[in-house]
Amino acid sequence: MKKQWFACLLSGLLFVTFLSCSSDDTQWRDENIAYMGKIAKQEGIKQLGDSINGFSGIYYQVLRSGDTTTARPVIGNVVRTVYKCYLYNDTTAFDSNDNYKSTVGKSIDGFDIALQYMHVGDYWKLYIPYNLAYGTSGTTSVPAYSMLVYYIYLKEIVSEN
């Protein structure tokens, strides 16, 4: 079931982006999608979502579990995290913060979706597809169609709705 769903996701991503890519963008996009395909097959990798509400396309690995009795953040909560973010093929973080205070729902979609599945104290490695990151435009430090790798630790929920 997981492989069929991933194949559908890949097909959709390829179709949606095919017409708008330059040849350089196409190669980069294809490399990122291929890397996500490899990640999906690795032992210990899980996908966020469920068969009822659908899967997000975000993959993760639990590096350390937190307190499962704590609430999970929801949209509008203010949280404090520690994170490092990488491009899939780079060992140098292009973004990091040891005390990031943010409102869930105000960051990139993949980051916000993942936070809503985490408990305080969880430490995860996330694989976020480009459509839930910086999309087809990218930023000054992130090329278009970039899949992101995050290491994220949820320190606390600072305030709830």
pLDDT tens, 88-113?
Answer: 888 889 999 999 999 999 999 999 99
**What's 100's domain CATH number?**
3.10.50.40
Q: Which domain holds residue 50?
A: 2-159
Q: What is the number of structural domains in the chain?
A: 1
For residue 78, with 0-12 CB atoms within 10 Å meaning exposed, 13-18 middle and 19 or more buried, which class applies? Answer: middle
Total-model pTM = 0.81
What tens digit of pLDDT does each residue of 24-75 get?
Answer: 788 988 998 899 999 999 999 999 976 666 678 899 999 999 999 999 999 9
What is the distance between the alpha carbons of residues 7 and 10, in angstroms, rounded to a whole number? 5
